[in-house]
């Protein structure tokens, strides 16, 4: 639920209308002027784009391409080297220079600071690289199953609180190949309307019927469940073979937590299975870092399938599914990503093992607990300061992801370029990752950000926000939160 001034809604719609009008005008003239030039020698080949599918990319996205896909030249730690680029033809082609600028990194999913070299993890990773080499060059069921993989599966299962786990080499592929292995034709998938593309892809690929419920709206979920159970399968009205409700721990575009206890109770009432995607929440929230179940006090045994990725908090790559022994046994025999895809790279596995050991405190220090406390403190501080400055910030407390609403299409590049000019690397998200009118800048806080880094970030965001005009809410306590006062507290 976002609150925006009415005039902003009107101007945003008008701006998009204007951009579309100019885009169509340019297309019209291009068709006239370029009609005699043969565009391609491929006669009788079908066109790559059906109709006007590439209109948005050509006329809207290409204007602001320099705000996306920025190449970097260092590890994505709290500070990052962004390669400077220039364009001579209005962003149609962008060229790299050899200069880099050192920017504060507010865009990486580096929640616990494992993205750069770590004193416990990195030596062990280098050792495993020498011992097991960079890739197993084989699938898990063939020659790709090493001691590290088995150790990590047991460790992940223990960390998350489930009896068993299965590892896969890619987070996106985890969702898109596991869901078809769990449910097929004759089943029903009920997924939150803001679920990630990987879940949507997996649901479409499974062949099951898919229904969507309004984001975090438990009453609507119950309504959809009741209606679907009563109706049964389409046309035959036979009962569904199984019903899976898919929700995420933290929704990365909203920064919100899901209402897990209520979802579990509704699912238990109607005997539906629950699938929890903890890509952003595992390792980042909860007292001991065990994710949204830890934070909201839900017993992991109540969630049927827990999925997560190692890309965000553990500084590695890959994904896992944790569930009961029978489900994992079934998945190991049916999931195509397990049987046919190369297993996770051994150094990446070692990185996750070391990272989990640090979080659990099994490396002999309390760095894990310190990191968790640091990220919680950083997130709450940053979010409350941003709100005091008048920005519209989404997301719940304790969530390290905070989207700042921009709305107007012109504010997207203005905010992004101004931040880069002042040496802060912030990520802006627009259509089609978000709804058309609700474009935002997404800030991800890390445990490796120090208090000075955060204060500098706040200063720059405030300046960029003033220039772009995105402080939609009144500033609270105007005099007491000036940046000078914050610096004095240090």
Partner 1 sequence: MGRRGKQPYYVEAAPPVDVNKNTEWFMYPGVWTTYILLLFFAWLLVLSVSGCSPGAAWTVVNLAHFAITYHFFHWKKGTPFAADDQGIYSRLTWWEQIDNGQQLTRNRKFLTVVPVVLYLIASHLTDYKQPMFFLNTVAVFVLVVAKLPNMHKVRIFGINADI
Binding residues for partner 1, rule: CB under 8 A, are: 1-7, 9-10, 12-14, 16-17, 49-57, 193-194, 197, 200-201, 204, 212-215, 220, 431-432, 435-438, 469, 471-472, 474
- Nearest distance from residue 70's CB to partner 1, in Å? 22
- Nearest distance from residue 435's CB to partner 1, in Å? 6
The rounded distance, in Å, linking the Cα atoms of 320 and 307 is 6
- Nearest distance from residue 49's CB to partner 1, in Å? 7
From the list 134, 164, 144, 170, the residue with the least C-alpha distance to 337 is 170
Task: Rank residues 158 and 471 by Cβ distance to partner 1 and give the closer one.
Answer: 471
Task: Rank residues 49 and 126 by Cβ distance to partner 1 and give the closer one.
Answer: 49
Measured between alpha carbons, how far is residue 361 from residues 289, 320, 355 in Å?
11, 21, 10
- Nearest distance from residue 123's CB to partner 1, in Å? 42
Q: Which residues pair with 441 in a beta bridge?
A: 404, 428
The rounded distance, in Å, linking the Cα atoms of 263 and 218 is 7
The rounded distance, in Å, linking the Cα atoms of 251 and 271 is 25
Task: Rank residues 254 and 453 by Cβ distance to partner 1 and give the closer one.
Answer: 254
Task: Rank residues 212 and 317 by Cβ distance to partner 1 and give the closer one.
Answer: 212
Are 339 and 145 within 8 A, CB to CB?
A: no
Task: Rank residues 42 and 50 by Cβ distance to partner 1 and give the closer one.
Answer: 50
Question: Beta strand 243-248 with 273-277: parallel, antiparallel or unpaired?
Answer: parallel
The rounded distance, in Å, linking the Cα atoms of 35 and 291 is 57
SS3 category, 13: helix
Task: Rank residues 4 and 369 by Cβ distance to partner 1 and give the closer one.
Answer: 4
CA dihedral 102, 412, 199, 250 (to 10 degrees): 70
- Nearest distance from residue 33's CB to partner 1, in Å? 20
- Nearest distance from residue 53's CB to partner 1, in Å? 5
The rounded distance, in Å, linking the Cα atoms of 382 and 462 is 12
- Nearest distance from residue 323's CB to partner 1, in Å? 27
The rounded distance, in Å, linking the Cα atoms of 110 and 100 is 21
Task: Rank residues 351 and 468 by Cβ distance to partner 1 and give the closer one.
Answer: 468
Q: Which residues pair with 232 in a beta bridge?
A: none
- Nearest distance from residue 14's CB to partner 1, in Å? 6
Are 100 and 82 within 8 A, CB to CB?
A: yes
- Nearest distance from residue 196's CB to partner 1, in Å? 12
The rounded distance, in Å, linking the Cα atoms of 251 and 266 is 20
Task: Rank residues 54 and 452 by Cβ distance to partner 1 and give the closer one.
Answer: 54
Task: Rank residues 1 and 42 by Cβ distance to partner 1 and give the closer one.
Answer: 1
- Residues 216, 219, 224, CA angle at the centre, nearest 5°? 95
């Amino acid at each position: 639920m976002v609150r925006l001034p009415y005039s902003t809604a009107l101007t945003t719609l008008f701006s998009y209308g204007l951009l579309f009008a100019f885009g169509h005008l340019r297309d019209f003239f291009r068709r006239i002027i370029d009609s005699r030039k043969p565009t391609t020698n491929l006669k009788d080949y079908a066109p790559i784009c059906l109709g006007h599918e590439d209109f948005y990319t050509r006329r809207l996205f290409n204007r602001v391409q320099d705000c996306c896909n920025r190449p970097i030249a260092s590890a994505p730690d709290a500070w990052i080297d962004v390669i400077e680029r220039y364009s001579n033809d209005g962003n149609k082609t962008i060229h790299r220079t050899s200069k880099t600028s050192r920017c504060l990194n507010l865009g990486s999913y580096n929640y616990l600071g494992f993205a750069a070299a770590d004193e416990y993890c990195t030596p062990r990773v280098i050792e495993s690289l020498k011992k097991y080499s960079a890739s197993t060059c084989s699938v898990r069921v063939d020659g790709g199953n090493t001691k590290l993989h088995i150790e990590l599966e047991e460790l992940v299962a223990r960390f998350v609180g489930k009896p068993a786990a299965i590892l896969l080499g890619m987070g996106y592929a985890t969702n898109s190949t596991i869901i078809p292995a769990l449910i097929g034709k004759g089943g029903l998938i009920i997924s939150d309307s803001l679920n990630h593309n990987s879940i949507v892809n997996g649901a479409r690929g499974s062949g099951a019927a898919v229904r969507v419920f309004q984001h975090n709206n438990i009453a609507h979920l119950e309504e959809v469940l009741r209606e679907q159970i009563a109706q049964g399968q389409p046309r035959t009205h036979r009962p569904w073979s199984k019903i899976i409700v898919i929700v995420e721990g933290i929704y990365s575009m909203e920064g919100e937590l899901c209402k897990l206890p209520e979802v579990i109770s509704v699912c238990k009432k109607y005997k539906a299975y629950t699938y929890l995607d903890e890509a952003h929440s595992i390792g980042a929230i909860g007292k001991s870092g065990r994710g949204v179940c830890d934070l909201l006090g839900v017993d992991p045994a109540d969630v049927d399938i827990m999925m997560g990725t190692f890309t965000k908090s553990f500084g590695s790559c890959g994904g896992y599914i944790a569930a009961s022994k029978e489900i994992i046994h079934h998945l190991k025999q049916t999931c195509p990503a397990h049987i046919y895809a190369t297993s996770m790279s051994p150094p990446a596995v070692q990185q996750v093992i070391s990272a989990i050991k640090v979080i659990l405190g099994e490396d002999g220090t309390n760095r894990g607990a310190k990191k968790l406390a640091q990220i919680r403190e950083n997130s709450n501080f940053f979010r409350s300061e941003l709100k005091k400055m008048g920005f519209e910030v989404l997301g719940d407390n304790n969530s390290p992801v905070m989207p700042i609403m921009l709305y107007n299409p012109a504010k997207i590049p203005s905010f992004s370029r101004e931040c880069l000019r002042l040496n802060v690397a912030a990520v802006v998200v627009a259509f089609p990752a978000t709804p058309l009118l609700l474009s935002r800048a997404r800030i991800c806080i890390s445990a490796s950000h120090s208090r000075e880094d955060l204060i500098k970030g706040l200063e720059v965001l405030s300046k960029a926000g003033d220039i772009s005009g995105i402080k939609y809410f009144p500033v609270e306590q105007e005099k007491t939160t000036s940046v000078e006062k914050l610096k004095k507290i240090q």
